[in-house]
A and B are shown apart, each in its own frame.
Chain A
């Protein structure tokens, strides 16, 4: 099994550009999450999904959007990129509530 796969691994965006961070999992997990990790900080929850067709905001959702049309995929969309969105983004999935979370390798995004 590949687990949780994120693409791209690195990206540089100019201010105002948009992009989609891809996340896919092959474990048939219901719950999926997007976190961002800023230097010296823990992970902050951006959005989450408890199943296909269901998404909800986390702690820091402003400037982002998500969709969950299938169980496997949970893309994160950045519209009008800003320098404050420079961060490392992690996607994670779990089978159910309060079970082990599996993380992707991360996407390092720089907005210049």
Chain B
């Protein structure tokens, strides 16, 4: 299948901004998603962006999409210790089986006081 790549770890201090990056290869990707997974829990949708957009802002979250470079980023402003979790980038397109999500391996975000 098509690839979704993310860096594996990110550590930031409380109050700083976090930027998590993702690249993907499927040029037909329609929607791109960010999911959050806390320890022992399922995946929670944080935000998503349609492929014809280049930016979406939702409170502390800003998603940037560079479709030409197939690069997606998630910026979390004023990062808090409760933001410590694994963040998954995912894409869907009509080339995916049953429009299933294709996930990256996840970025572990550690927020230190």
- Chain A positions near chain B (C-beta within 8 angstroms): 4, 31, 33, 40-43, 45, 48-50, 56-59, 90, 92, 94, 97-98, 100-106
Q: Closest CB of chain A to B58's CB: distance in Å?
A: 14
Q: Are A100 and B97 in contact (CB under 8 A)?
A: no
Q: Are A58 and B4 in contact (CB under 8 A)?
A: no
Contact of A98 with B31 at beta-carbon distance under 8 Å, contacts A49-B98, A59-B1 already known: yes
25 sampled A-B residue pairs with Cβ under 8 A: A4-B42, A31-B98, A33-B100, A40-B8, A40-B106, A42-B90, A42-B104, A43-B43, A43-B103, A45-B97, A48-B97, A50-B98, A58-B98, A58-B100, A92-B43, A98-B30, A98-B92, A98-B99, A100-B48, A102-B45, A103-B43, A103-B44, A104-B42, A105-B41, A106-B41
Contact of A42 with B103 at beta-carbon distance under 8 Å, contacts A101-B45, A105-B41 already known: yes
* B52 proximity list for chain A (CB < 8 A): none
Number of contacts between A and B (CB, 8 Å)? 65
Q: Could you give, for residues 82-113 of chain B, a 1 whenever the CB lies within 8 Å of some chain A CB and a 0 otherwise?
A: 00000010101110011111011110000000
Q: Are A42 and B100 in contact (CB under 8 A)?
A: no
Q: How large is the interface on B (under 10, 10 to 19, 20 to 34, 35 or more residues)?
A: 20 to 34
**Assembled-state Cα–Cα distance A48/B40 (Å):** 23
Q: Are A94 and B1 in contact (CB under 8 A)?
A: no
Q: Closest CB of chain A to B72's CB: distance in Å?
A: 14
**Assembled-state Cα–Cα distance A108/B49 (Å):** 31
**Known pairs A42-B4, A59-B97. 18 more at Cβ < 8 A?**
A33-B100, A33-B101, A40-B105, A42-B90, A50-B98, A56-B98, A58-B98, A58-B100, A59-B1, A90-B42, A92-B43, A92-B101, A97-B99, A100-B45, A101-B33, A101-B101, A103-B44, A105-B41
* A94 proximity list for chain B (CB < 8 A): 99
Q: B43, B48, B100, B105: which contacts A41 (Cβ < 8 A)?
A: B105
**Assembled-state Cα–Cα distance A106/B45 (Å):** 15
Most chain B CB inside 10 Å of its own CB: which residue of A40, A48, A103: A103
* A49 proximity list for chain B (CB < 8 A): 98
